[in-house]
Amino acid sequence: MRRFVIIGGSEIRDYERVRKYLRPDDFCVYCDCGLKHQDGLKRKPDLVIGDFDSHPKPQDLNNVIVLPVVKDDTDTIFAVKEGMRRGYGEFLLLGATGGRQDHNLGNIYALLMLAKNGKAAMIVDDYSEISIIPAGEQHRVKWGCKFFSLLNISGTARGITITGAKYPLDDAEIAPEYQYGISNEVLSQDEDAVISLREGYLLLVCVS
């Protein structure tokens, strides 16, 4: 099935880098002032969502969902829920970090919401890839990742194991109040770092 790509209004400076993550068959959803990224990403919207408090409302409303300004969900979170409602299993968020910290955190926690609903999701910005590693899954980090960090944003993550990295772990735990898993490194270009955990969720940030 096609991937559901959500483009928000945070700054994108390196369009060339970000465009490399797009696939020809992606379903591209622009949220409100995310429409400013159309030329840089060179992709037309399949759907536009927003309350249009930060961008003029498109004239053609055939592929537009107009939201009220007063609502519980941000435009981006509404788009995430819309993608789940339509049955998509994979999500990519662009223009989702780098602006207001409240929106940054809200969008990062959207990855957790998607993971808890069994969806694969990633945020890509000018510097990094951000994703969730759920318990019971093994994740590989390749040599091209300059630094990678593991942060806990939900409860306590237990049974964390990291191999093939500068700072390995064996059956460790990370609680939200003590984030010691920042700035790890893959040891060798011939061997991936491998991450797994027994309980909880971890936020993985790969900086290239």
Whole-number pLDDT of residue 146:
94
- Residue 69 is predicted with a pLDDT of 87
What residue ranges of the chain are covered by domains with CATH 3.40.50.10240? 4-126
Query: d(Cα 12, Cα 143) in Å, to the nearest integer?
Result: 25
pLDDT in tens, 190-208: 999 999 999 999 999 999 8
pLDDT band, very low/low/confident/very high, at 34 (cuts 50, 70, 90): very high
Report DSSP state, residue 184.
B
Q: What is the CATH architecture assignment of 4-126?
A: 3-Layer(aba) Sandwich (3.40)
Sign, CA dihedral 72-75-80-82, equals positive
Overall fold of domain 133-207 = Jelly Rolls (2.60.120)
Alpha-carbon distance of 180 to 174, in angstroms, equals: 8
Q: How many CB atoms lie within 10 A of CB 144?
A: 9
Cα gap 150→173, rounded to integer Å: 11
At 8, list the tokens: 């928000």
Nearest to 128 by CA among 153, 152, 151: 151
CATH 2.60.120.320 boundaries in the chain: 133-207
Q: Per-residue confidence at 62, pLDDT binned at 50, 70, 90?
A: confident
| Res. 17: pLDDT tops 90 | yes
Query: In this predicted structure, what is the pLDDT of residue 208?
Result: 87
Q: Are 76 and 106 in contact (CB under 8 A)?
A: yes
